[in-house]
Structure 1
Amino acid sequence: MLQRLHPWNTRFRSWLWWVVIVGILAALPVVYDRVQTENTSKKVETVFDYRHLLDVAALQPNPEAFVQEWLGKLKEAGVESMAMYESTLSEFKSSRRILLYNANDVSLLTGQPVSLNENYTYLLFTNKANETALSPIIRNTFTSLGYTVNYWTHNGMDGLKIETSPDDALMKPMPQDPITMQMLHDRGFQIVPRLTDALPYNQQATEETLAKFHDLGVKRIIFEGESVKGYNDNAETGSLTDFANRLTKYDIGIATIENLKKPQKGIEKLSYLIDYNVVRLYSLSEKDSSLSPATISDRFALATKDRNIRMLYLNTQANKDVTKAQLTNTLPNLVNSLQKPGNALKAIEDNGFTLGQAEPFQVHHSSLQHYLKLVVVLGAVAFIALLISYFIPVLISPAFIIGLIGAAGLYKLKPALLEQGLALGVAISAPTIAMILVIRKTQQLRESHGDLSGSKRIMSTLIQYVKTAIISFMAVPFMIALLNNITYSLVLNQFRGVSLLHLAPIGLIALYVFLYCGESVMKELRRWLSMPITVIMVVGVAIAGAAGYYYLTRTGNEGQVSSIEMVFRSTLENVIGVRPRFKEFMLAHPLFLVGMFVGLRYAWGRFLFIIAVMGQLSMVDTFAHIHSPIIISSIRGLLGLGLGLVIGLIAILVWQIVERCWKKWSPLLVE
Structure 2
Amino acid sequence: MPQWVNRLNTIMAKWLWWVVLLGVIASLPVVYAREQTEQSANEVAIVMDYRDLLQVSNTQVDPRRFVEEQIGLLKDAGVNGMVVFESTLEELSWAGEVNVYNATQAALLEGRVSPPDDNGTYVVFNRPEHEATFRPIIEWAFRHHGAEVTSWSVKGQAGVRISMGYDDAILRPMQPNPLAIKSLSEAGFLVIPRLSDRFDPFDQTEVARWLDSYQELGIDRIVFDGEAVTGFADDDEKHKGITFFAGELKEHGIGVAIFENLRIPQKGMSKLANLLGYNAIRAHSVSEAEMSVIKKPVLEDRLVLAVKDRNIRLLYLNAITVRDSTKGQVTHPLQNIVDVLKGEKDDDGNTVSVGVVKQLHDFGFEIGSPKAFQIEHAPAEMALRGVAMLGAIALVALTIGLFLPSLLVPSLVAGAVGGAGLYVLSSTLMVQALALMAGIAAPTAAVVLLVKRIRVLRDSGEDRKMSSLHRLGGALLLFVRTTILSLAAVPFVVALLNHISYSLVLQQFRGVSALHLVPIGLVALYVFLYGSGNTVIGNARKILSMPLTVLWIAGVGVLAVVGYYYLSRTGNSGQVTGIEKEFRSLMENTFGVRPRIKEFMFGHPLFFAGIFIALRYRWGMVLLVVGTIAQLSMVDTFAHIHTPLLLSFIRVLLGLGIGLLLGFVAIAVWQVLERLWQRWGKKVLGDAGQ
What TM-score do you get using the length of structure 2 for normalisation? 0.95
2:118 is aligned with what amino acid?
E
**Partner residue of 1:375 out of 387, 392, 396:** 387
Does the alignment pair 1:400 with 2:412?
A: yes
Q: In the alignment, residue 293 of structure 1 is paired with which amino acid?
A: K
C-alpha displacement of 1:367: 4.8
Per-residue deviation, 1:235: 2.8
Q: Give the drift of 1:548.
A: 0.3
- Report the Cα distance in structure 2 between the residues aligned to 1:594 and 1:123, rounded to whole angstroms: 76
CA contact (8 A) 1:446 1:599 kept: no
For 1:27, give the aligned amino acid.
S
Q: Could you say which residue in structure 2 is the equivalent of 1:90?
A: 90
1:275 corresponds in structure 2 to 277
Partner of 2:673: 658
Q: Which amino acid aligns with 1:378?
A: L
State the secondary structure of the residue aligned to 1:345: helix
| Deviation sequence 1:318-348 (CA, Å, 0-9, x none) | 2233222122211111111001134111100
Partner of 1:100: 100
Name the CA distance, whole Å, in 2 between partners of 1:108 and 1:321. 34
Instruction: Give the match for residue 427 of structure 1.
Output: 439
Q: 2 CA distance for matches of 1:631 and 1:181?
A: 38
Aligned residue number for residue 565 of structure 1: 580
> C-alpha separation between the residues in 2 aligned to 1:447 and 1:481?
40
Structure 2 residue 294 is matched with structure 1 residue 291: yes
Amino acid at match of 2:508: Q
Aligned residue number for residue 148 of structure 2: 148
2:427 counterpart (415, 419, 437): 415
Equivalent position of 1:157 in the other structure: 157
Q: Aligned residue for 1:489?
A: 503
Please report how far the alpha carbon of residue 148 of structure 1 lies from its aligned counterpart in structure 2 after TM superposition: 2.2
Q: Aligned letter for 2:386?
A: L
For residues 622 and 423 of structure 1, the distance between their equivalents in structure 2, rounded to whole angstroms, comes to 13
**512-521 or 463-472, which moves further after superposition?**
512-521
Which residue number corresponds to residue 230 of structure 1? 231
- Provide the rounded CA distance (Å) in 2 between the counterparts of 1:418 and 1:142: 49
Contact 2:54–2:91 (CA under 8 A) maintained in structure 1:
no
SS in 2 for 1:60: coil
Q: Is contact 2:27-2:385 (8 Å) kept?
A: yes
SS at match of 1:492: coil
Distance in 1 between residues matched to 2:96 and 2:650, nearest whole Å: 54
Question: In the alignment, is the contact (CA less than 8 A) between 1:469 and 1:616 conserved in 2?
Answer: yes
Q: Secondary structure at the match of 1:211?
A: helix
> Is the 1:103–1:119 contact (alpha carbons within 8 Å) kept by the matching residues of 2?
yes
Letter of the aligned partner of 2:499 in structure 1?
A: N
SS at match of 1:124: strand
**Aligned pair partner of 2:448 in 433, 436, 443:** 436
What does residue 342 of structure 2 align with? 339
Cα RMSD of the aligned pairs, angstroms, is: 1.3
For residues 270 and 336 of structure 1, what CA distance do their matches in structure 2 show? 37
In 2, Cα distance between the equivalents of 1:291 and 1:464? 46
**1:420 CA displacement:** 0.3
Q: How many residues align?
A: 671
Q: Secondary structure at the match of 1:390?
A: helix
1:213 is aligned to 2:227: no
Extract unaligned runs of 5+ from structure 2.
Answer: 345-352
Are residue 459 (structure 1) and residue 473 (structure 2) matched? Answer: yes
AA aligned opposite 2:289: K
Query: Does the CA contact (< 8 Å) of 1:233 and 1:239 recur in 2?
Result: no
* 1:234, distance to aligned residue in structure 2 (A): 6.7
**d(CA) in 2 for partners of 1:181 and 1:540?**
64
> What are the Cα deviations for residues 443-464 of structure 1, in whole angstroms up to 9, with x where unaligned?
2212221422101110110001
Q: Gaps spanning 5+ residues in structure 1: where?
A: none
Q: Which residue in the other structure is 1:319 paired with?
A: 322
Q: What is the CA-CA distance between 1:263 and the residue it aligns to? A: 1.0
AA aligned to 2:309 is D
Helix, strand or coil: the match of 1:627?
A: coil
Equivalent-residue separation in structure 2 for 1:2 and 1:173 (angstroms): 76
In 1, the alpha carbon distance for the partners of 2:42 and 2:168 equals 45
- Mapped to 2, the partners of 1:244 and 1:3 lie a distance apart of 63
Residue identity opposite 2:484 in structure 1: I
Aligned to 2:348: none
Residue 401 of structure 1 aligns with an amino acid whose one-letter code is V
1:255 corresponds to: 257
1:265 corresponds to which letter in structure 2?
K
- Within the candidate set 332, 351, 371, 1:329 is matched to 332
C-alpha deviation, 1:32, in angstroms: 1.5
In structure 1, C-alpha distance between the alignment counterparts of 2:64 and 2:118, rounded to whole Å: 35
Matched position secondary structure for 2:403: coil
Which whole-Å CA distance do the structure 2 matches of 1:52 and 1:124 have between them? 23
Letter in 2 for 1:219: D
3-state DSSP of counterpart to 1:48: strand
| 2:643 paired residue among 604, 621, 628 | 628
User: Aligned partners of 1:73 and 1:665: how far apart in 2?
Assistant: 71
Match of 2:195 in 1: 195
SS in 1 for 2:653: helix
Q: Secondary structure at the match of 2:288?
A: coil
Map 1:516-665; keep pairs closer than 5 Å.
Answer: 516-519=530-533, 520-665=535-680
Question: Which of these residues, 309, 313, 318, is aligned with residue 310 of structure 1?
Answer: 313
Give the Cα–Cα distance (whole angstroms) in 2 for the partners of residues 473 and 598 of structure 1: 24
8 Å Cα contact 1:78/1:345 also seen in 2? yes
SS in 2 for 1:256: strand
2:519 is matched with 505
Query: Is contact 1:472–1:617 with CA below 8 Å preserved after alignment?
Result: yes
Q: Which deviates further from its counterpart, 395-404 or 107-116? A: 107-116
CA contact (8 A) 2:81 2:192 kept: yes
Deviations 1:453-497 (A, max 9, x none): 101110110001100110011101100110000000000111110
| Other-structure match for 2:490 | 476
Contact 1:389 1:396 in 2 (8 A): yes
Q: Within 5 Å, which residues of 2 pair with 1:103-182?
A: 103-182=103-182
- How big is the shift at 1:575? 1.2
**CA distance in 2 between partners of 1:362 and 1:110 (Å):** 61
Identity %: 45
Deviations 1:155-198 (A, max 9, x none): 11111112222233223200111222222222221111111101
